[in-house]
């Protein structure tokens, strides 16, 4: 999903136990693995690859006057002994296929070369101190470091390696004090979205005794006096803002805002640098349809006053001194920026600083008294620097076709940082001065990939209704268009999220082994503003699937590939995309990987945080919305006897965002229904989840090698030397 679909306002295993569990589950089939690695051909079933039989217990219910039949409702109970036994049996079945595939170790070597090299992320600068994550080549997890001054040495602040024997605990930076003497960071278990905040005295290298509960936290804001902090946290009733006094038991924290807001809302906060004003933003759902904005004068202990609470539009507010600058789609489907003066804060007094243009204003930041606006023009990134009068000062353009991240900095400092990467170009982070335009390299990943050996280009193709859709292609130079190239197609198409050609170890390894990598910019995303987004949501969601299917047809017609050499890949909302594609046009694809997916759209809103997505998808609780949801919901469109492609579902217990029950139920249904001899399988881990950024490197390599080996097996590929 997008960053707003979790309760973290600012984003972001086969561990030892899981390995033992998997070995136990596969012990009974180990001998058969040795004897029959490829019995039955690519995808064919043999005696040693018997599909587990899942008991079908039909549950019938009337939903908005329509009878819904669900044969695997019992698999929704994640903790029942029956479900746990099913998981173990399914993992054993998956191992019976994948553990025997040749080339896995070679793939691990290739991926290790792409993933293991030193990693350094974009830093946070406070009072001449730089806080950042770094992971050295021999390490499994990213460590929080401090550097005092640009030329200072890197000092370890928080090392997560000792926090768990299986390296399942990772870190997240939440905030730092203005003088850089306090750091608020969080720990995350596995891949779940829940966090546990901690407060570190940077100079003493000791943690404060404040003991926070595990929960879904939003933005955390330290007050300048370092005596307290504001934070938002999701409760059973909905999001709430709290004031926490440092050293106090968090159970005594004062709830200061949020009463009446339900679980389909999120609350974010931001303080002025002097701590005089508190800014609050309440997002309605995850589709940029509405947000409310409030301000409180903390110095005068004034009331929390609404700035915006009756406009059906989205507002992204940021402090610039004591003025507020807001990016909004109000009267601007491609977005604009307005300035709010607190002396005259009513909308009729707002000043438009940067008007809407033909490019999409994706994001913005404030630094050094300037506005850094991140645009995409036909899905190509650029950053423009404006003064507060809206005058264009200069542009930051990407060095090649790729993704240019926004500039991150502070209002009181001209120092900012941004990143660039592409499918064939590993991330490089630049330090940029908004006052002078001078820049230097902060960090560059030394990954053994030669950009000159690969080509990255943008093409356009017609969708079913004639709409022109852009798509990025990446492959080795000199590719022959003979219809035989193994091709991996991916996309997202939702939540106003734009898909850009970022560096990906999976994509790089795929290309290195002779594959074509394709990223389609589907409707539902933010590539062309709100009109593009709305053309792929709610009752128009089918447009997203049509765009994706049309991309596959274009690749085949253009002689890039053929259905026997074409695979698709997607996760979360992209997992829904894959599920819809294989149920609507199964003959187009040889294989599919469906990660952490939404698939039973009739019931999705009943689980975890899914109510937050109703504005994007609709809900079966609404009779009219159920009609179009039923027209595409993958789980309800599996047909007995259909020759489905090979499908690999991936999920795990620690996915606390998209309920793993979707993948469990869909696996069982497709295994019972498919008319082909291609395998339908699931990898179900106990410690992995939706938030994959903190996974240990060894697990990232293992997981990616497994996914690639599955795809290469089904497409008849061999690993390159």
Which residues are marked as active site? 572, 690
- Who contacts 203 (Cβ-Cβ below 8 Å, separation ≥6)? 181
Angle in degrees, CA 352, 406, 411, rounded to 5 = 60
- Who contacts 394 (Cβ-Cβ below 8 Å, separation ≥6)? 384, 385, 437
10 Å Cβ neighbour count for 79? 7
What 3-state DSSP class applies to 31?
Answer: helix
Q: What's the rounded Cα separation, in Å, for the pair 257 and 246?
A: 19
Q: What's the rounded Cα separation, in Å, for the pair 713 and 614?
A: 38
Residue among 138, 186, 171 nearest 698 (CA): 138
Q: What's the rounded Cα separation, in Å, for the pair 634 and 682?
A: 16
What 3-state DSSP class applies to 544?
Answer: helix
Q: What's the rounded Cα separation, in Å, for the pair 624 and 629?
A: 9
- Contact of 93 with 684, CB cutoff 8 Å: no
Residue 196, judged by CB atoms within 10 A of its CB (0-12, 13-18, 19+), counts as: middle
CA atoms within a 13 Å half-sphere pointing along the CA-CB vector of 184: 25
Angle in degrees, CA 631, 493, 407, rounded to 5 = 160
Residue 251, judged by CB atoms within 10 A of its CB (0-12, 13-18, 19+), counts as: exposed
Q: Got the DSSP string for 254-302?
A: EEEE-TT--TTEEEEEEE-TTS-EEEEEEEETTTTSEEEEEEEETTTT-
DSSP 100: T
| The residue to which tokens 């079908």 are assigned | 56
Strand pairing class (516-520; 487-490)? parallel
**Phi, psi of 254, rounded to the nearest 5 degrees:** -85, 125
Q: What's the rounded Cα separation, in Å, for the pair 537 and 557?
A: 28
| Number of helical H runs and strand E runs in the chain | 12, 40
Q: In Å, what is the CA distance from 560 to each residue of 242, 513, 555?
A: 55, 16, 5
10 Å Cβ neighbour count for 303? 10
Q: What's the rounded Cα separation, in Å, for the pair 595 and 584?
A: 18
Residue 189 pairs with which residues in a beta bridge? 169
Q: What's the rounded Cα separation, in Å, for the pair 366 and 368?
A: 7
Q: In Å, what is the CA distance from 159 to each residue of 140, 142, 182?
A: 11, 8, 16
- Who contacts 437 (Cβ-Cβ below 8 Å, separation ≥6)? 385, 394
Instruction: Dihedral sign for Cα 15, 21, 25, 26, please.
Output: positive
């Amino acid at each position: 999903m997008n960053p707003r679909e979790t309760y973290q306002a600012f984003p972001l295993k086969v561990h030892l136990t899981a390995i033992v569990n998997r070995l136990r589950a596969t012990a009974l089939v180990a001998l058969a693995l040795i004897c029959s690695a490829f019995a039955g051909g690519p995808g064919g079933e043999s005696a040693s690859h018997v599909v587990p039989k899942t008991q079908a217990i039909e549950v019938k219910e009337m939903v908005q006057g329509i009878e819904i039949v669900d044969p695997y409702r019992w698999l929704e109970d994640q903790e029942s002994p029956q479900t746990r036994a099913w998981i173990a049996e399914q993992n054993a079945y998956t191992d019976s296929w994948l553990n025997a595939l040749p080339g896995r170790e070679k793939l691990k070597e290739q991926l290790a070369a792409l993933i293991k090299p030193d990693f350094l992320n974009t830093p946070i600068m406070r009072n001449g101190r730089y806080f950042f994550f770094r992971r050295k080549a021999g390490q499994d997890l990213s460590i929080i470091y401090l550097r005092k001054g640009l030329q200072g040495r890197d000092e370890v602040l928080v090392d997560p390696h000792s926090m768990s024997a299986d390296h399942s605990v990772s870190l997240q930076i939440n905030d730092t004090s203005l003088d850089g003497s306090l750091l608020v960071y969080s720990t995350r278990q596995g891949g779940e979205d829940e966090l546990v905040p901690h407060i570190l005295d940077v100079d003493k290298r000791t943690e404060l005794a404040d003991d926070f509960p595990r929960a879904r936290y939003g933005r955390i804001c330290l007050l300048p006096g370092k005596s307290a902090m504001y934070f938002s946290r999701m409760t059973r009733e909905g999001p709430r803002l709290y004031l926490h006094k440092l050293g106090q038991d968090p159970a005594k924290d004062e709830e200061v805002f949020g009463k009446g807001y339900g679980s389909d809302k999120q609350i974010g906060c931001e303080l002025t640098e002097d701590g005089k004003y508190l800014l609050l933003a309440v997002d309605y759902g995850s589709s940029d349809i509405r947000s409310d904005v409030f301000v409180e004068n903390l110095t005068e202990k004034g009331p929390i006053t609404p700035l915006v609470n009756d406009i059906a539009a989205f507002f992204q507010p940021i402090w610039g001194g004591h003025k507020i600058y807001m990016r909004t789609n109000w009267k601007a489907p491609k977005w604009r920026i307005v300035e709010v003066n607190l002396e005259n804060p009513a909308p009729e007094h707002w000043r438009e600083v940067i008007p809407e243009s033909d490019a999409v204003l994706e994001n913005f930041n404030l630094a050094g008294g300037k506005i850094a606006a991140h645009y995409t023009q036909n899905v190509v990134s650029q950053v423009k620097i404006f003064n507060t009068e809206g005058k264009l000062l200069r542009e930051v353009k990407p060095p090649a076709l790729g993704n240019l991240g926004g500039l991150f900095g502070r209002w009181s400092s001209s120092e900012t940082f941004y990143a660039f990467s592409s499918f064939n170009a590993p991330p490089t982070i630049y330090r940029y001065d908004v006052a002078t335009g001078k820049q230097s390299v902060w960090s560059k990943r030394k990954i053994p990939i030669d950009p000159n050996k690969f080509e990255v280009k943008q093409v356009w193709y017609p969708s079913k209704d004639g709409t022109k859709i852009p798509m990025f292609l990446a492959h080795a130079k000199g590719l022959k268009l003979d219809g035989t190239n193994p091709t991996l197609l991916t996309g997202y198409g939702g939540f106003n999220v734009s898909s850009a050609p970022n560096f990906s170890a999976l994509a790089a390894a795929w290309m290195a082994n002779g594959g074509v990598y394709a990223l389609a910019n589907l409707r539902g995303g933010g590539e062309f503003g709100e009109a593009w987004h709305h053309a792929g949501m709610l009752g128009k969601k089918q447009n997203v699937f049509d765009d994706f299917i049309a991309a596959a047809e274009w690749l085949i017609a253009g002689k890039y590939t053929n259905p026997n050499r074409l695979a698709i890949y997607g996760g979360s909302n992209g997992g829904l995309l894959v599920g819809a594609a294989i149920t609507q046009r199964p003959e187009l694809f040889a294989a599919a990987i469906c990660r952490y997916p939404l698939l039973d759209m009739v019931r999705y809103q009943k689980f975890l945080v899914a109510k937050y997505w109703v504005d994007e998808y609709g809900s079966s609780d609404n009779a009219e919305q159920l009609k179009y949801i039923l027209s595409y919901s993958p789980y309800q469109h599996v047909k007995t006897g259909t020759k489905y492609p090979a499908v690999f579902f991936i999920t795990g217990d620690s996915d606390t965002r998209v309920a793993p029950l979707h993948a469990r139920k869909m696996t069982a249904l497709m295994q019972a229904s498919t008319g082909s001899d291609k395998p339908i399988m699931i990898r179900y881990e106990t410690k992995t989840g939706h938030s994959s950024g903190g996974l240990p490197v060894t697990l990232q390599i293992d997981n990616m090698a497994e996914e690639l080996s599955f795809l290469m097996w089904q497409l008849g590929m061999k690993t390159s030397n």
